[in-house]
Chains A and B, each alone.
Chain A
Amino acid sequence: MYVVREGLRQILRHPTASLATFFTALVSFALLYFLGLLLWNLERVVDALGQELEVAAFLAREADVERVLSTIQDWPEVASVRLQTKEEALAQLVLDYPYLAEAKDLVENPLPDTLRLKLKDPEAVRQVAERLRHLPGVEGVEYGGELTERLVQVLAGSRLAMGVLVGLLLLNTFFSVMGSIRLSVESRKEALGIMLLVGATRRFIQGPFVAEGILLTLSAGVLAVAAGVGLYRTLARAAQSLLPFLPVLNAQDLARTGLLVLLLALLLGAGGAYMASRAHLREE
């Protein structure tokens, strides 16, 4: 096919620039893919931890339990609320510590009624706890999951850092593609001028450049995804042998994100080439 053959020939005509673009694209896509996988995985871990995360609100003796309950149920962050009466709490306690069984009859039950909340989003835990604390009838709030909270912060931070880093790299790739294509256009200037004058369609003129851009970024994308899958698999296996309960991404997840990266590669290659070759269509 003319377009692909011509695109390939152009790549070989200035190998240094082509390699520069190829490696820029490779690094960008590899980082995007691999870091993306790690973050996604981390998100899964946090999700799993979040499922366990529970906020406990201890109620005052005179509290209007029904009212507090219905108020909390209306909060959008809350997935579920369960009332644990002090009797249940005591029974649980006795179950956990059998030697208390005798003591429980001697004194009045000292435990408060407790509301146990599960959240939709673990990120909201601090905020919800704070709001709970100010609710009339609530005497104290407790939540576990310091680790989860820390992880959530790390996750948000890394997501931002990765977004910036990868965004810059992709921009770099885009301009690198444009630079390569500019070179091709420059080296074919004479021929392009004649093509225009003897009636070449825009597709005929731009096709080879777009093919060149796609060949460069897509080949880099394929390699990046292959490397990313290899590396991730190795890491995941090692991690799981240490912590078997750790959730990891399955082959389908890897394939789906890989395809996304390839699609992005295609768009960057084609887009950069299209932009770079378009200006030259307007007459020499």
Chain B
Amino acid sequence: MIAFHRVSLEYPRTRTKALYNVSLEIKKGEFVYVVGHSGAGKSTLLSLILRRLVPTQGAVYFAGQNLKNLRGDQVAYHRRKIGMVFQDHRLLSDMTVEENLAFVLQVQGVPRKEWPERIALALRRVGLTHKKRAFPEELSVGEAQRVAIARALLLDPPVILADEPTGNLDPANAMAVLEILKGAHSRGATVVVATHSRELLEAYPARTVVLKAGQVVRDEGPEGGGSIRVKERP
């Protein structure tokens, strides 16, 4: 589904080498954690999948397509296959919860008559039906994060990317978020979660890719056993 082939990425302005020679394959329907210290390159990796970034070297493939070759609106159509949960939830402050969700449906050209049902379902999944008329600033951090997830799941995209979805949450809220992601996974979505949180890994063990200073240093199978050590580069 997603394949990194010797991917390096350097941010041109600061000349920061955020990723170095990363090769990685994520199969359809997998649940994968990407962990690592702050600045290890987790968000960068997700941005490459979303094609906000294009590798400096190597290639990222999505369903067999080299993302570098997407042109114009092809990028938009690619992004529609991905539900992205951002580190800073990225809800629009001048719209209610409901409107924030409707906004995505409008952007993606979903017929208006389907909106109420889709929005209701998405809010039910994250347990926030009663907050649909609230504005983002009237929500707790955990609630806002769940709305962001509801937005990502809105159209049941085949791939979900979640960047630090439990970043600022207490354990109970973190578990609630994890449950929602597990739900999406159980419905067949490929899920990639970037996180620092040990608790998540323990609560729902899954394949874990460890990044260190932009390199993959470990790639462990679901049960912790069968751990694959990837050779480190100097």
Instruction: List A contacts of B78 (CB < 8 A).
Output: 199
A51 at the interface (CB under 8 A from B): no
Instruction: Give the docked Cα–Cα distance between A204 and B109 (Å).
Output: 9
Instruction: List B contacts of A193 (CB < 8 A).
Output: 90
Instruction: List A contacts of B109 (CB < 8 A).
Output: 204
A97 at the interface (CB under 8 A from B): no
A110 to chain B, nearest CB (A): 84
B92 at the interface (CB under 8 A from A): yes
A195 at the interface (CB under 8 A from B): yes
B18 to chain A, nearest CB (A): 16
Instruction: Give the docked Cα–Cα distance between A190 and B91 (Å).
Output: 9
A2 at the interface (CB under 8 A from B): yes
Interface string of B70-113 (1 = CB under 8 A from A): 00110011111000101000101100000000011011110000
With A190-B93, A194-B90 known as contacts, the answer to whether A199 contacts B107 (CB < 8 A) is yes
Instruction: List A contacts of B72 (CB < 8 A).
Output: 202
With A194-B103, A283-B52 known as contacts, the answer to whether A199 contacts B92 (CB < 8 A) is no
Whether A200 contacts B92 by the Cβ 8 Å rule is no
Whether B80 contacts A191 by the Cβ 8 Å rule is no
B50 at the interface (CB under 8 A from A): yes
Interface string of A167-198 (1 = CB under 8 A from B): 00000000000000000000000110111111
Interface string of A44-83 (1 = CB under 8 A from B): 0000000000000000000000000000000000000000
Instruction: Give the docked Cα–Cα distance between A17 and B78 (Å).
Output: 37
Judged by DSSP, the binding face of A is helix
A: interface residue count bin:
10 to 19
With A195-B107, A197-B50 known as contacts, the answer to whether A202 contacts B76 (CB < 8 A) is yes
Whether B76 contacts A199 by the Cβ 8 Å rule is yes
Whether A2 contacts B106 by the Cβ 8 Å rule is yes
Whether B93 contacts A198 by the Cβ 8 Å rule is no
Q: Which of A190, A191, A198, A202 contacts B79 (CB 8 A)?
A: A198
A194 to chain B, nearest CB (A): 6
Interface string of A211-230 (1 = CB under 8 A from B): 00000000000000000000
B9-40 with Cβ < 8 A to chain A: none
Whether A198 contacts B108 by the Cβ 8 Å rule is yes
A175 to chain B, nearest CB (A): 27
Interface string of A107-130 (1 = CB under 8 A from B): 000000000000000000000000
Whether B80 contacts A197 by the Cβ 8 Å rule is no
A16 at the interface (CB under 8 A from B): no
Instruction: List A contacts of B90 (CB < 8 A).
Output: 193-194, 197
With A197-B79, A199-B76 known as contacts, the answer to whether A190 contacts B92 (CB < 8 A) is yes
B124 to chain A, nearest CB (A): 21
Instruction: List B contacts of A200 (CB < 8 A).
Output: 76, 107-108
A5 to chain B, nearest CB (A): 12
Please give the residue numbers on chain A whose beta carbons come within 8 Å of chain B beta carbons, in ascending order.
2, 190-191, 193-204, 283
**20 extra A-B contacts, CB within 8 A, seeds A196-B79, A198-B84:** A2-B106, A190-B92, A190-B93, A194-B90, A194-B92, A195-B107, A196-B76, A197-B50, A197-B52, A197-B79, A198-B104, A198-B108, A199-B76, A199-B78, A199-B79, A199-B108, A201-B73, A202-B73, A204-B107, A283-B52
What 4 pairs between A and B have smallest CB-CB spacing? Answer: A199-B80, A199-B79, A200-B107, A199-B76
